[in-house]
Amino acid sequence: MRDVTIADIERLRAEADGADAVFEMDEDTFRALYDRTSRALWAYLSRLTGPDAADDLLQETYYRFLRAQGRHESEAHRRNSLFRIATNLARDGWRRGVHAQMVPLPDGPRGELRADVDVAADAQRRSDLARAMLQLTPRERAMLWLAYAHGSSHRDIASTVGVKTASVKLLLFRARRKLAGVIRDGNRGTKAGRHED
């Protein structure tokens, strides 16, 4: 997705001015929700599909959310809807053969260097994790991310990925064991490589 300039915003605003509202949600409510959720949602999509696809899927997720005109009882319900839409979009991508990509090493503005982090080690860890995650099924990736990175409840995970709540515990256990095994194997391989050097 290309960067948006102020001229683009003004053009879009001019084109949309004077038209009737097409969504049930008003702009201020949407913007507040977006500001609270977009980064977490992008991170989730990025881990499921790769950063490039995540850019497009983010816009698509919010569009479908707005179009759904659903009644949401709470902020948690809205978040849950967003993540469910995102998961379905990512799943459509998997069915079309769009697979997750490796997380790129920091370069350019997306991976701005942070002084308090060992950038090389950080990039190595993320790259190892990305490789390990690719050993999992898309549903396992989604469940693990929601459970441990996003902190979702089993009930929310169930509704987001479309499984029974009672199954979540077992599915998470299996996915966790699988990922832990791949990470440990990777760590052993890295250490063995260092010894050979």
Partner 1 sequence: MKIECEREQDVLDALAAQRWPARCDDELRAHVSACGICADLVEVASALLEDHDTTYHDARVPPSGVVWWRAQLRAREEDARAAARPIAFIQGIAVSVAMWVVVTLLRAVPASTLAAWKEWMIGFVPHVSVPVPGIAQVTAAIPGSVLLVAGAALLLAPLAIYFAVAED
* Contacts to partner 1 by CB under 8 A: 1, 4, 8-9, 12-13, 15-16, 19, 22-23, 27, 30-31, 34-35, 38-40, 42-43, 46-47, 58-59, 62-63, 66-67, 103, 106, 109-112, 114, 117, 122, 125-126, 129, 132, 144-145, 148-151, 169-170, 173, 176-177, 179-180, 183-184
Is there a contact between 106 and 112 (Cβ–Cβ < 8 Å)?
Answer: yes
CB of 102 to partner 1, least distance (A): 13
CB of 155 to partner 1, least distance (A): 16
CB of 141 to partner 1, least distance (A): 10
Q: What are phi and psi of 195, to 5 degrees?
A: -65, -40
Read off the DSSP letter of residue 100: P
Residue whose CB is less far from partner 1, 107 or 197: 107
Exposed, middle or buried: residue 133 (CB in 10 Å: 0-12, 13-18, 19+)? buried
Sequence-ordered list of residues with C-beta below 8 angstroms from that of 73, at least 6 positions apart, any chain: none
Is there a contact between 158 and 164 (Cβ–Cβ < 8 Å)?
Answer: yes
E strand intervals along 121-180:
none
Residue whose CB is less far from partner 1, 191 or 196: 191
| Amino acid letter for position 43 | A
Choose among 177, 179, 171: nearest CA to 143. 171
Residue whose CB is less far from partner 1, 76 or 187: 187
End-to-end CA distance of the chain: 41
CB of 182 to partner 1, least distance (A): 10
**Phi/psi zone of residue 21: left (φ > 0), alpha (ψ -120 to 50 degrees), beta?**
beta
Residue whose CB is less far from partner 1, 30 or 94: 30
Residue whose CB is less far from partner 1, 6 or 197: 6
CB of 110 to partner 1, least distance (A): 6
CB of 186 to partner 1, least distance (A): 10
Residue whose CB is less far from partner 1, 66 or 98: 66
